Chain A
């Protein structure tokens, strides 16, 4: 294992682990991994470590680190909000990753609030050439709502569970409650604002892989649902959407983790190939 502890930023206040492949190859991508919610840098179910080491075997270096106020990195004092601070922190991490892996394109991978922080950082830092967004913002749309209704109608068990949950005063609405709970801590920007930001990123040449899980299955359970939300924007072929409605938000099952790692690896190879091709 080739990993070493690093300190990031001018004062070295941010703590992280740099994971490098045994042979330095030209081309390809280097990955930035950081916190999802308040979980420290290893990620939910240690997913960031698993992804970093799997991509290391594919020749991709990575830096996983704690944003200010999370994990081992102390909170910054001073009038900057968490979102703005996260953008500053990610740029500092790009500085380090770029100096360590200058031949690679920086790709940010973030889950949930980590996806939000990643895409905001990319808007602010054009050195980020790729984004992997796990369960980024999702919006209701008629196509998905109709399909979800049909799926429920075809499943008496799901109706029974819905009735049971209603009786216990908890509604079972395909993850919407969870989304609502999360939204209290993760405000949803207007649809047009998110769409315009994605358009700006893709126009700037940023490649984006979006993976939606069952967490938002009532809104997005097929890639076409995502594109139907933004009919006014042509993202070209720069956004790839993968839907995994049978998988939970944090990829709890090991098969789900393997599937995600497979998608990430395939996408990186396709869009950020190593010079001379992958081994």
Chain B
């Protein structure tokens, strides 16, 4: 079977995942773990990750994609999602990937908030990675919460035909008062933890190669790149000028950021 859905993890924290068997197993290619973004963005990323996993499996990489506790088909309510919990789930997923693939070398790919989760989980568990892909990753949590709040207000104002001010009054005028975003609960604990993310200060895990993948004009801050350079053998920056993967237009469409997927598959396949 090419892809096998499964449950794994602690009994009181059961996680849903899909394991993609390598089609032509190769010792040269690492096992790959995919880290979802948060909330609505995970739904927008679903097809992207599925296609990415299939492409990677085709070049010989076993791949695990999974839902955090409180997300997707995993157990738990949306209100239970915390950043610490996501990091804990990442460790469970890595254990599962290791057990299923028998691989010793790994590449992690984190999209959106998943990038920050991957960085934190690798650092906390001292996982040495061949590749760490930070794809449109949250490197500054305060900025991310601001963007999430703005996206939530804009989406509601547009879809409810209501003045932005009226929506803001109902939702809360500032990111730290936001109890929900784009259909998902944002607990105070989650908000506090995410607000504290600053990859330029917290540092990077040890990884042979760190790849910053930023769409359009969102170049990574030089301080973040400098911090990554201190921990990685090499740092790569991939600029993608295609439409953002998480735009409203990308919702309920077949939009796929092909150039970004090609970049990842090529980097893992050629181990550069």
Contact = CB atoms under 8 A, between A and B. Distances in A.
A115 to B, nearest CB: 15
Interface string B8-36: 00000010001000000000000000000
B252 A161 contact: no
12 contacts: A17-B73, A39-B46, A44-B43, A44-B183, A45-B43, A46-B184, A50-B78, A161-B163, A249-B159, A252-B156, A252-B183, A254-B180
* Interface range on chain B (Cβ under 8 Å from partner): 20 to 34
B252 A46 contact: no
Given A39-B43, A45-B40, A174-B161, A254 B185 contact: yes
Contacts of B5: 5, 15, 72
A157 B163 contact: yes
Interface in A1-15: 1, 3, 5, 15
B108 to A, nearest CB: 22
A45 B252 contact: no
Given A161-B163, A215-B159, A253-B180, 20 more contacts: A1-B14, A5-B6, A5-B7, A38-B252, A40-B46, A41-B73, A42-B43, A42-B72, A45-B40, A45-B184, A46-B184, A214-B161, A248-B156, A251-B183, A252-B155, A252-B156, A252-B159, A252-B183, A253-B183, A254-B179
Interface string A12-23: 000101000000
Contacts of B155: 252
B270 interface: no
10 smallest beta-carbon distances between A and B, as pairs:
A45-B183, A248-B159, A37-B252, A1-B75, A252-B183, A254-B180, A40-B46, A5-B5, A248-B160, A157-B163
Contacts of A240: none
A172 interface: yes
B253 A72 contact: no
Contacts of A39: 43, 46, 252
A175 interface: yes
A75 to B, nearest CB: 12
Given A1-B14, A250-B183, A252-B155, A38 B254 contact: yes
B219 interface: no
Contact of B161 (A17, A49, A161, A253): A161
A279 to B, nearest CB: 21
Among A49, A158, A174: residue with most chain B CB under 10 A: A49
Nearest to B186: A254
A246 interface: yes
Interface in A145-204: 157-158, 161, 172, 174-175, 178
B180 A158 contact: no
B159 A46 contact: no
Interface string B112-155: 00000000000000000000000000000000000000000001
Interface string B54-86: 000000000000000001110100100000000
B182 interface: yes
A41 B43 CA distance: 10
A85 interface: no
Among A39, A41, A253: residue with most chain B CB under 10 A: A253
Contacts of A50: 78
Nearest to A64: B73
Nearest to A37: B252
B104 interface: no
Contacts of A215: 159
Interface string A201-228: 0000000000000110100000000000
A17 B43 CA distance: 17
Contacts of A250: 183
A214 B6 contact: no
B156 A253 contact: yes
A214 B71 contact: no
Interface string A232-267: 000000000000001111111110010000000000
A17 B252 CA distance: 22
Interface in A69-106: 71-72
Among A5, A17, A252: residue with most chain B CB under 10 A: A252
Given A38-B252, A42-B72, A175 B183 contact: no
A72 B3 contact: yes
